[in-house]
């Protein structure tokens, strides 16, 4: 049951993040716009050529982020449902029910590790911004998702 609860808690968290990005689009879009525009990184940095200032591309990137968040949440919820249905089955069957949850957690891990930390943090220099820096928040998501993946990957012992 604890594995189901952990995945459900993360599904809820990511659902709320996606909902916030959808319902408060403008406020949260400002973060993406500033990171991509690189307008708050060190002025003498040599990576300003990487900036994306096209509003169309900025909105496209933000919509992609939201879509991945929604997909992550949906996969996690589907995984919760599948694990819930098999919670009283033999351990091997329950183990096989984890696939969608693993896909969801892995998708979220990819978003926050690759999308935010690698691309946002390193490629766009988000780490240099004192105002638009999501590295700490991204790291929390990465740690939570990775911890859940490790925990979920542990095999169940057969009931006696």
Element (H, E) at 79: helix 55-85
What is the separation of C-alpha 85 from the centre of its chain, rounded to a whole number of angstroms?
A: 25
Q: State the average pLDDT for the chain.
A: 95
Give CB contacts under 8 A, 24+ apart, made by 124-128. Answer: 124/35, 124/36, 124/38, 124/41, 124/47, 124/50, 124/51, 125/38, 125/41, 125/42, 125/45, 125/47, 125/50, 126/35, 126/41, 128/40, 128/41, 128/42, 128/45
pLDDT given at position 159: 64
pLDDT at 158 over 80: no
For the residues 133-142, what does the mean pLDDT come to?
A: 95
pLDDT at 137 over 80: yes
Segment 74-102, tens digit of pLDDT: 999 999 999 999 988 899 999 999 999 99
User: Phi first, then psi: what are they for 88, rounded to 5°?
Assistant: -105, 10
Banded model confidence at residue 160, pLDDT cuts 50, 70, 90: low
Segment 28-47, tens digit of pLDDT: 999 999 999 999 999 999 99
pLDDT given at position 156: 83
User: CA-CA distance, 18 to 22, in Å (whole number)?
Assistant: 6
pLDDT given at position 155: 87
């Amino acid at each position: 049951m604890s594995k189901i609860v952990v995945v459900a808690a993360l599904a809820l968290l990511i659902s709320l993040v996606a909902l916030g990005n959808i319902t408060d689009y403008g406020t949260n879009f400002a973060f993406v716009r500033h990171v991509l525009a690189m307008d708050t990184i060190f002025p003498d940095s040599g990576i300003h050529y990487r900036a994306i200032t096209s509003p169309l591309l900025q909105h496209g990137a933000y919509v992609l982020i939201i879509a991945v968040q929604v997909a992550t949440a949906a996969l996690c919820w589907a995984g919760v449902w599948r694990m819930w249905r098999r919670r009283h089955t033999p351990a091997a069957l329950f183990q096989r029910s984890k696939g969608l949850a693993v896909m969801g957690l892995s998708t979220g891990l990819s978003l926050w590790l690759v999308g935010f930390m690698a691309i946002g943090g390193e490629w766009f220099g988000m780490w240099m911004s004192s105002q638009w820096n999501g590295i700490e928040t991204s790291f929390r998501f990465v740690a939570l998702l990775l911890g859940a993946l490790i925990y979920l990957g542990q095999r169940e012992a057969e009931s006696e």
